[in-house]
Structure 1
């Protein structure tokens, strides 16, 4: 599960480089899904990149792709740049300061979009903005990947996720775990169809959508 501030500051990087412990726990499971859905080439846009650790790991794992990390938080963009420099990964573009709720994104094209652990730590309007702009940016057949904890009809929610939901609501009433059915409906309104749902570690799931129109 994610946290609203799931990172620590690396003093050796003078406060710019941040570390999210969850990245080390989930990155290989995420890569296993991405291997089956990412295109062979093109730009992969990551929304809400956070510390940047996923971006550098994905860049190293998929050297034929170019990754465009982004985050609305300037401090996160600094961390992304610091990790990219430290790891010397050449197929990662400079981070962009993008907000899911912004009217437009400063991105010309993308062959795929990734969004990890953002949906539950943001208002529902952020998910709406994410889907709307992804629907405008991606071409038919392109993948749109979401990762995090979600609710599902007919599936008992893990106690840890219920506790996490209460924690999120205690910090911001507009945050919270979203229902997969609501994500599917939002996706359909923006030209996507869900291709798969993959069970992931720590009661998280991967949602894979494809642009259909």
Structure 2
């Protein structure tokens, strides 16, 4: 039985983030999240996406269980959320890809649900949802979304009762020839215990790829 972990605050955000160092602000951010078992209570949110340096604008894909005993995926940003899929089962993979083009000024978001064993047994297939936004036009106050971010939000006294959260293939492809930014790119919040991550980076032409193949998350504050 997995021990419960409670967060004794009104809300708690655990996050891992990286400032994208792109010479012409052209990049791709990818991340895969394995859907955990159902919790006995709701109010969990796990998200991958982009924000600005002030961290006051949201552009991400979230896995959440605001209805206890169910998981759903939403594509969301500060102008609203798009409910994408509510047929999410433990063991599925949520694969998100965010891209920004300095030529078109368009930010794109693609999320793919890859079925796990339970979903395959239930007859569910792989499916993808996409959106494109010209945020400089629709949300000029947001500025540049040049911070890649993974985050967790927990409701008041919400138990972390499903074990570790697993992220895989967390990758930034950035248009820069300087690879050293990748060494110190990702910063984890103090209330997050991140294990198993190994940073890899390599260059391809005028781009640098920075990747974590695997990492698991649990909160550092534990209780009964």
Higher strand residue share: 2
TM-score, normalising length: structure 2? 0.30
Choose 1 or 2 for highest CA Rg: 2
| Higher RCO (CA 8 Å, separation ≥ 6 residues) | 2
TM-score, normalising length: structure 1? 0.31
